[in-house]
């Protein structure tokens, strides 16, 4: 059994002893702490009600977790708006649409079906920052439970925000629904038996796209590993080729990550989801005469975003890994778009959260304008390859030693230390990023280069030096 407590919430496997798995005791404890800190963060006059949106993906444990979260919030005197089956971005938008004071998303994202989680939102529908998250973690361990009297328990209502989310996506100026309809696209959608099977077909229907659905029944019994990686999308790739579809679309269980499959059955590569959408927005902004544009991604994402941004006269910024870090920098730099290389597209013009519906609508608009196949579109972008490795250590104290020594070895290169150590070899257009795991004695190593052979060689070079440091 596993229970992981972090600043963004609490996640774990269902069952087991309290404190070791995600049990009813843990769910109540952390929901209570969220309620306590919500009142501290947003003080209101006496008697004025608080409200929180609760949405869930289609996991088997979803109803059980929802009942506990909703009941606890109500017992704390907080009104609850149950969004039911709702994607993560839908729940985020529901917070602002309803004027709520916060939100809790019940999803373990791309983790397998035995996992679930509570992801915590502020009144803007955005994830809590590090300080706020740490306050909740402390409160959960120290709180003396004290619930509302019967006259003050929270009301519970239900509202489906799915169509309002789709309406908002289609209303974005950069979404050319008419061009998409005229293009007559045929797509295959793999929704991995979760809420993507509810919202994504509705969006595609509104765009006039023919949709062949795979694993669209939202029963939580995931047909395959739910992370949208090529190894998990064999059925999708084969169906795209067999059906002669224009592309394949894959989302994770809470629909905040997005990956495409080319008409050839080959992966578009999820790193390029953001790159493609970003260049389309940069081109549209250029046509409108908008200047001083910025984009953001995290340190472990492809350099291709920087390349296309600078190609269009913009400025690229890199954040620490983690969605809240990306969104913080997006706000700080007033960026046009940002996201992560895992297929997460964040378009602040709508809301500051990863949103696969936004990504699909913008990608199809781009494809309709350019009149290219998906594989031909991919070929227009700078080509890079990322090798992902890790070093398993017996002693976590070695992690900082390795990172410090590597900085000395590569002192002549451009080094970024805002999140681990990233060494940038500018002339070769290569980089390697080393980060320590928050839960295990592991250093994760991402290396990118213009060829996979070179990316793997660079990673091997770094690993060899790290091993020499360990042996000293």
Point out the residues that are catalytic.
109
Q: How many residues does the chain have?
A: 472
- Extract the tokens encoding 362: 């913008």
Q: Which residues contact 90 (CB under 8 A, 6 or more apart)?
A: 55, 83, 161, 162, 165, 195, 199, 255
Look at phi and psi of residue 99 and say left if phi exceeds 0, alpha if psi is from -120 to 50, else beta. left
Among 396, 333, 322, 351, which residue's Cα sits nearest to residue 130? 322
Look at phi and psi of residue 6 and say left if phi exceeds 0, alpha if psi is from -120 to 50, else beta. beta
Among 150, 48, 60, 165, which residue's Cα sits nearest to residue 112? 60
Q: How far apart are CA 23 and CA 25, in angstroms?
A: 5
- Extract the tokens encoding 170: 């289609």
CB half-sphere exposure, 374, CA atoms < 13 A: 28
Q: How far apart are CA 307 and CA 305, in angstroms?
A: 5
Residue with tokens 């047909």: 223
Q: Which residues contact 212 (CB under 8 A, 6 or more apart)?
A: 186, 187, 188, 189, 239, 243, 245
Backbone angles phi, psi at 303, to 5 degrees: -70, -15
Q: How far apart are CA 59 and CA 254, in angstroms?
A: 10
């Amino acid at each position: 059994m596993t229970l992981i407590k972090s600043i963004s919430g609490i996640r774990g496997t269902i069952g087991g002893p309290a404190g070791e798995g995600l049990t009813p005791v843990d769910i109540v404890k952390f929901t209570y702490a969220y309620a306590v800190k919500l009142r501290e963060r947003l003080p209101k006059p006496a008697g004025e009600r608080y409200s929180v949106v609760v949405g869930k993906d289609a996991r088997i444990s979803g109803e059980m977790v929802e009942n506990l979260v909703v009941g606890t919030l109500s017992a704390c005197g907080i009104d609850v708006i149950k969004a039911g089956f709702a994607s993560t971005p839908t729940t985020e938008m529901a917070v602002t649409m309803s004027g709520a004071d916060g939100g809790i998303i019940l999803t373990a994202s791309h983790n397998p079906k035995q996992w679930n989680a509570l992801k915590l939102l502020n009144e803007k529908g955005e994830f809590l920052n590090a300080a706020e998250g740490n306050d909740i973690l402390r409160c959960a361990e120290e709180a003396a439970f004290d619930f509302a009297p019967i006259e003050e328990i929270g009301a519970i209502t239900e509202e489906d925000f799915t169509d309002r989310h789709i309406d908002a996506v289609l209303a974005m100026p950069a979404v050319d629904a008419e061009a998409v309809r005229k293009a007559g696209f045929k797509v295959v959608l793999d929704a991995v038996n979760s809420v993507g099977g509810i919202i994504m077909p509705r969006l595609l229907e509104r765009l006039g796209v023919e949709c062949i659905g795979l694993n669209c029944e939202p029963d939580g019994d995931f047909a395959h590993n739910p992370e949208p990686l090529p190894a998990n999308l064999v059925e999708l790739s084969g169906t795209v080729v067999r059906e002669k579809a224009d592309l394949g679309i894959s989302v994770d269980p809470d629909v905040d990550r997005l990956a495409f499959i080319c008409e050839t059955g080959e992966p578009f590569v999820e790193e390029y989801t953001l790159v493609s959408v970003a260049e389309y927005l940069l081109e549209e902004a250029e046509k409108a005469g908008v200047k001083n544009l910025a984009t953001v991604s995290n340190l472990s994402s492809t350099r291709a975003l920087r390349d296309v941004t600078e190609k269009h006269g913009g400025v690229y910024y890199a954040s620490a890994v983690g969605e809240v870090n990306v969104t913080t920098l997006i706000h700080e730099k007033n960026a046009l778009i940002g996201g992560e290389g895992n297929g997460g597209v964040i378009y602040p013009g709508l809301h500051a959260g990863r949103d696969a519906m936004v990504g699909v609508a913008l990608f199809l608009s781009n494809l309709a304008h350019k009149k290219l196949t998906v594989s031909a579109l991919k070929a227009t972008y700078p080509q890079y390859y990322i090798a992902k490795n890790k070093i398993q250590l017996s002693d976590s104290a070695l992690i900082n030693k390795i990172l410090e020594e590597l900085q000395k070895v590569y002192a002549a290169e451009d080094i970024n230390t805002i999140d681990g150590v990233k060494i940038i070899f500018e002339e070769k257009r290569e980089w390697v990023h080393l980060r320590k795991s928050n839960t295990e004695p592991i250093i994760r190593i991402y290396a990118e280069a213009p060829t996979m052979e070179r990316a793997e060689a660079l990673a091997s070079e770094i690993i060899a030096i790290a091993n020499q440091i360990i042996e000293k």
